[in-house]
Amino acid sequence: MGPVTSENHGFIDRSSLECSEVLREDPTSLLAHRSKKKQSQKHKLDSAATLYPVQMSGGPPPASAGIRHGFLDMGHAMPGDSMKSASSSADPSVTPSAAVGSAASTSKRKEIYRFDAPFDLYSFGWSYNADPARKFRLATGSFIQEYNNKVMVVQLDEPEGEFRHLCTFDHPYPTTKVMWIPDQKGVYPDLLATTGDYLRIWRMGEHGATLDCQLNNNRTSEYCAPLTSADWNETDMSIIATSSIDTTITIWQIETGQAVGHYAGTGKADGNVKTQLIAHDKEVYDVAFSQMGSGKDTFASVGADGSVRMFDLRHLEHSTIIFEEPERKPLLKLAWNKQDHNYLATFGHDSKEVFILDTRIPCTPVARLENHRAALTGVTWAPHSSSHICTAGEDCQALIWDIHEMPKPIDDPILAYQAAAEIGEVHWSTQLTDFIAISYGKSLEILRV
C-alpha cells in the first residue's frame, strides 16, 4: 500500500437519482444487500439465545461447557485492564433452555431483555439522555420491502423486566440510520434523526413523534440519492453529517427550535446544507465524527472504493486517506474509540475481519479481529473503556474483545453471545455502560455485560 495521500474535493451540482429506483436496482446498495440476506434467512427466531465462554477455536462451546445468561459485568473495567475470564465465572448449573429473556435461578436480575416487533428490524439507536425515565429508551426502524415502513420507540422498565411500547410512526422506506440527539443533559428538545431517502428530524412528545423537518440534500431537484448513514456531532449538536450513494457527504446546520434558534417562532427544528463535498470515488457507506482535537471538526468516512478518509470541517478542500482495504473491498461501517480518539474500527463487505486503525500510523492496521465465522454487520466501542470493543455478524455472534495489548496479536475475544439469528446491528449504550443492544429478525435484545 502506498503512502498517505491527500485528495482535493470540489463542490458539486447534484445529479437526479430516484430513490426507489436505486433501492430496487443498485446491487451494491446496503439495503439491497440486506434485502437479499432477509430473503435467504432460514433461522428460527424462537430458538434459545445463549451466552457462552469463548473457546480458543472461536466456535460454540462443547455440550459440557457452562452456559451463562449475559455478558460478564465489565462496568468497573478500567482502560487497559483485562476483563475477568469468562470461563472462570461460568455457572454450570444454568442450562441453555433458560436463556431467552428469563432470570437465571441463581441471579436476582435478568441478563437478557428481548422485545419482539411485528416486523423485521434494521437500524436502531439508544437514547443519550441521562434522565432515568429516558436512558433505557430505544428507537428502531422496520425493514419492510416496500415504500411504507415504520419507526418504533420502546423503553425497558428494568425493575419489571419488560419493554413498554411508547409510539410507532410511519416512515418512507427502511431507515438506514436511527439516532437520538446526543444530548446527555437534556438541554435541547427531544429529537430523533432518521435517514433513508431524506434526512428527517422528529420531535418526541407525550403523545408520540411529530415530523419537524424533511431535508433533501439535492437542492436542484425533487429527487434524491438514498442516504446510507448519518452522525450527529456530540460537541456541536447543530451539526449532522449524512453519507450517500452518490459519493457525497453533506454537512447540515440544524436549528433545534430553541429560543436562540432561527426557527423559534414555530418551535420546530429545521436545517440547511452547510457544506456538501464529493467524499469518495464511489458510494459512501458510513460517516462518523471523532472527539479528537476540538471534538467537533474531525470526521471520517468509508465507502465502496475501499478507503477510510479523514476530514476537517475547517479545511474541507482536502481529505486524507488513512487506510485502503487490501483487496479493495467496499468498507461498510466505521466507529471511533470513545476514550482514545486516535483509534477507529472498520470492516469490509462480506468480510469476517475488523481492522483497528491508529490515525497516527496510517495505512497499516494496528490490530485485526478475526474470530467471526460469517460476514460482519456491526461494531461498537465501549463508551467508558478505550480497550473494549464489541463486534457482531451474520454468524449470529456478538463478540467482546480486549485490545489493550496492541500491537500484540489479538487471537480471541473474551466473551461471546450467540443470538437466535443473524445480527443486524449492535450498539453499546452511552448512558448504561453495562448494556449492549443487538437486533436480529424481528427482535431487539438488551444484554447485560
How is 72-83 classified by DSSP, letter by letter? PP-TTPPTTPPP
Three-state DSSP at 88 gives helix
Tens of pLDDT, residues 262-321: 333 345 666 777 777 778 889 999 999 999 988 899 999 999 999 999 999 999 888 999
Q: Which domains, ranges and CATH numbers included, belong to the chain?
A: 180-448 (2.130.10.10)
Examine residue 407 and say whether the peptide bond preceding it is cis (omega within 30 degrees of 0).
yes
Query: Where residue 186 falls among pLDDT bands split at 50, 70, 90?
Result: confident
CA distance 421 to 443: 9
Q: What are phi and psi of 385, to 5 degrees?
A: -145, 135
Query: Where residue 434 falls among pLDDT bands split at 50, 70, 90?
Result: very high
Tens of pLDDT, residues 399-417: 999 999 999 999 999 999 9
Three-state DSSP at 33 gives helix
pLDDT at residue 35, as a whole number: 55
119 in Cβ contact with 144 (< 8 Å): yes
94 in Cβ contact with 104 (< 8 Å): yes
Q: Which three cell numbers stand for residue 344?
A: 477507529
Q: From residue 8, how far is each of 316, 340, 434 by CA, in Å?
A: 8, 28, 42
Query: Where residue 391 falls among pLDDT bands split at 50, 70, 90?
Result: very high
Three-state DSSP at 34 gives helix
**How much is the average pLDDT of 131-137?**
86
CA distance 75 to 256: 33
Q: Are strands 239-244 and 248-255 parallel, antiparallel or unpaired?
A: antiparallel
pLDDT at residue 317, as a whole number: 85
Q: Are strands 367-369 and 354-358 parallel, antiparallel or unpaired?
A: antiparallel
Q: Which amino acid is at 61?
A: P
